Amino acid sequence: MPSTEHLADRAIAELARLVAFDTTSRGSNLELIRHVEATLAALGVASRRVASADGHKANLLATIGPNVAGGVVLSGHTDVVPVDGQPWTSDPWTLTPKGDKLYGRGTCDMKGFLALALAAIPDFLAAGLKRPIHLAFSYDEEVGCLGAPDLIAEIAASVPAPRAVIVGEPTGMEAVSGHKGIASFRVTITGHEAHSSQTHLGVSANMVGIKLLTYLSDLSERLARDADPASPYEPKGVSLTVGLINGGTAVNILARECVFLFDVRTPPGVDPFALIKDFQALAAEHDAGMKARFPGTGVRVETRAATPGLAPEAGGAAETFARRLAGDNGPARVVPYAAEAGQFQGAGYSTVICGPGYIDQAHQPDEYVEISQMQRGAAFMARLAEALAEG
């Protein structure tokens, strides 16, 4: 087996390079993609981009070893969440070691896994793989898993059927077999401005928004009350939250616009659109009433993203294999966050989540990954090379 200590050191050095790229979802990830392409090319590994429609971002796919069936996909997203307004005590774009932790945006979510996969390539190449390892790096996971569908389609079209997909979201290097799905929505209410003393001459988008938000708040509480107490998820059942609200221009003007975003997180098999059917009917009712008074006003509900959950597979090949590599004999596990794993499963691939770090550190100021987690990840990659060299 390759030296895991040296592999972990290389992975930490690579993590420093990856963290230095600001790949916040609102921007481009192409500088990081170019870096990964150059890293692969220097090792003699070909790669290909799967670009976004506007060319501003790209997924990346590469194969190490023979392009035959029965390989393993190592999947991870390149984008990170914003640091705006967060009280960081170190530069989020500089990997900062402190004690047994490595601080920086994306260290656990999820550039640590990408760094491990890239650092392990020399070991993969030296192992004489009989089955391939495919690297599948995506964009825009954090804003709705938007890049993965095109990447998965490219895998289906060009890669002989892999045995397993391992999505490296932070799980403490333990196998996770299920995650919730997420559907997110934007609601735009367009009112008619007037002086706030003359409410009969206009319609406030904010006042309509309050009625719709009240419905969602009540629905959220109802869904929490109705959750199955036997659910393995925490929180149990469906959760609904409003994450962003903007509206109005001044206290004495009837608001012309109110915009809010909300998401619904559902266990696998639960249809989020069925859950908000009555909300959409209420929005349509307000839309019609507003338009009857003032043409050009109304309510628009748009779906921003809809990502399926990952359903646990009984005896799933991916989970069994990941547990073997991780030395994991623990209980079955599921997580409440959404990931690209459900999209891979929906395309017919046996899929598991397993990566360094813990979700409790993700999206936080002073995000970090423990050095011990990188070391466990290095051992995982070394065992992966050994297993696929055996065929």
pLDDT at residue 101 is higher than 70: yes
Residue-wise pLDDT tens digits, 16-25: 999 999 999 9
Measured between alpha carbons, how far is 294 from 207 in angstroms, rounded to an integer?
Answer: 15
Measured between alpha carbons, how far is 241 from 98 in angstroms, rounded to an integer?
Answer: 35
Residue carrying the six token digits 């959220």? 220
Measured between alpha carbons, how far is 3 from 382 in angstroms, rounded to an integer?
Answer: 8
Residue-wise pLDDT tens digits, 199-214: 999 999 999 999 999 9
> Residue 195's domain is classified under what CATH number?
3.30.70.360
One domain, residues 321 and 301: no
pLDDT band of 1, cuts 50, 70, 90 = low
Task: Give 296-364 as a 3 state SS string.
Answer: CCEEEEEEEEEECCECCCCCCHHHHHHHHHHCCCCCCCEECCCCCHHHHHHCCCCEEECCCCCHHHCCC
- Pick the last residue of a domain from 307, 340, 371: 307
One domain, residues 15 and 126: yes
pLDDT band of 31, cuts 50, 70, 90 = very high
Report the share of the chain in percent with pLDDT over 70.
99
Give the residue numbers marked as catalytic.
Answer: 79, 141
Question: What pLDDT was estimated at residue 391?
Answer: 82
Alpha carbon separation from 42 to 78, 84, 133 (Å, rounded): 20, 35, 17
Measured between alpha carbons, how far is 338 from 178 in angstroms, rounded to an integer?
Answer: 9
Measured between alpha carbons, how far is 194 from 98 in angstroms, rounded to an integer?
Answer: 56
Q: Are 132 and 68 in contact (CB under 8 A)?
A: yes
Question: What pLDDT was estimated at residue 370?
Answer: 98
pLDDT band of 361, cuts 50, 70, 90 = very high
Residue 369, beta-bridge partner list: 102
> Residue 317's domain is classified under what CATH number?
3.40.630.10
> CA dihedral in degrees (351, 53, 80, 243; nearest 10)?
-90
pLDDT at residue 329 is higher than 80: yes
One domain, residues 296 and 324: no
- The tokens for 152 are 């998965």
pLDDT at residue 72 is higher than 80: yes
Instruction: Give the phi and the psi of residue 188 in degrees, each rounded to 5.
Output: -115, 120
- Pick the last residue of a domain from 254, 289, 307: 307
Q: Which of 233, 294, 299, 232 has its CA nearest to residue 260?
A: 299
Q: How many domains does the chain have?
A: 2
Residue carrying the six token digits 């929490």? 224
Question: What pLDDT was estimated at residue 225?
Answer: 95
pLDDT at residue 231 is higher than 70: yes
One domain, residues 242 and 267: yes
Radius of gyration of the chain (CA): 23
pLDDT at residue 269 is higher than 70: yes
* 187 secondary structure, DSSP code: E
Would you call 8 exposed, middle or buried from its count of C-beta atoms within 10 A (0-12, 13-18, 19+)? buried
Domain ranges, residue 228 = 181-307
One domain, residues 71 and 213: no
One domain, residues 14 and 127: yes
Question: What pLDDT was estimated at residue 2?
Answer: 58
Measured between alpha carbons, how far is 323 from 174 in angstroms, rounded to an integer?
Answer: 7
CA of residue 123 relative to chain centroid, distance:
28
Residue-wise pLDDT tens digits, 170-207: 999 999 999 999 999 999 999 999 999 999 999 999 99
One domain, residues 252 and 151: no
Measured between alpha carbons, how far is 139 from 145 in angstroms, rounded to an integer?
Answer: 8
- State the amino acid at position 15 in one-letter form: L
One domain, residues 269 and 353: no
pLDDT at residue 306 is higher than 80: yes
Question: What pLDDT was estimated at residue 85?
Answer: 95
- The tokens for 345 are 């499963």
pTM above 0.95, yes or no: no
Strand 47-51 to strand 58-64: parallel, antiparallel, or no bridges (unpaired)?
A: antiparallel
pLDDT at residue 93 is higher than 70: yes
One domain, residues 247 and 215: yes
Helices in 120-247 by DSSP H: which ranges? 121-127, 148-158, 205-225
pLDDT at residue 3 is higher than 80: no
One domain, residues 246 and 170: no
One domain, residues 80 and 123: yes
Element (H, E) at 261: strand 257-266
- Pick the last residue of a domain from 273, 307, 341: 307
What integer best gives the mean pLDDT of the chain?
A: 97
Measured between alpha carbons, how far is 277 from 279 in angstroms, rounded to an integer?
Answer: 5
One domain, residues 148 and 194: no
